[in-house]
Structure 1
Amino acid sequence: MVRVPLTESERARGERLGRLLRTARGGRSMVDVAAHARISVETLRKIETGRVPTPAFFTVAAVADAVGLSLDELVDATVEQLR
């Protein structure tokens, strides 16, 4: 399957989400957070580095829960980064 290259805005959006989740993870290990969210460490790594610009909603919700962020806080932080 051939993937369409990401646009600059898609890349930036993925990087913003990844930065937020990585910051919220703090000192917890990727293994711990991934296990809590029931995703692979590699999936978490891709999200945190922005390589997955549009992760599934339920994946984002699970990671946010694992790092102690509500979805409202995640949205607020994303909007704040855009200012």
Structure 2
Amino acid sequence: MVRNPLTPEERRRGERLGELLREARGGRSMVSVAASAGISAETLRKIETGRAPTPAFFTVAALAGALGMSMDELLTRCAALREPDELPLLA
């Protein structure tokens, strides 16, 4: 299956998500958070660095749960990181 290239906006959204997840993880190791979420540490690393800017919904939900965040809180905090001229996250 061939994927369409991501737009610059989609890449920025992925970078914001990665930034937020790194902040929320704090001093916890990547390995422990990934294990709690049921994903590999490499998958978490890719999300946090923006190399996987569009993770699956259930992956994001599992990470939010492992970090003690609700999906509403995650969305609100990601929206707070967006640039004023960007479209909403769910556009």
| TM-score, with length taken from structure 2 | 0.83
2:41, 2:78 → 1: CA distance? 23
Q: How does 1:61-72 map to 2 (within 5 A)?
A: 61-72=61-72
Q: Shift in Å at residue 19 of structure 1?
A: 0.4
Q: Which runs of 5+ in 1 are unaligned?
A: none
How far apart, CA to CA, are the structure 1 residues paired with 2:79 and 2:32? 27
Identical positions, percent: 70
Displacement of 1:6: 2.7
Matched, 1:74 2:79: no
CA distance in 1, matches of 2:7, 2:72: 26
**How far off its partner does 1:75 sit?**
0.8
Structure with a larger share of its residues in helix = 1
How far apart, CA to CA, are the structure 1 residues paired with 2:75 and 2:6? 22
TM-score normalized with structure 1 length: 0.91
Higher RCO structure (Cα 8 Å, ≥6 apart): 1
Q: Cα offset for 1:79? A: 1.4
How many pairs are equivalent? 83
In 2: Cα distance, 1:52 partner to 1:79 partner? 19
Q: Distance in 2 between matches of 1:12 and 1:67?
A: 22
User: Paired residue for 2:49?
Assistant: 49
- State the match for 2:31 in structure 1: 31
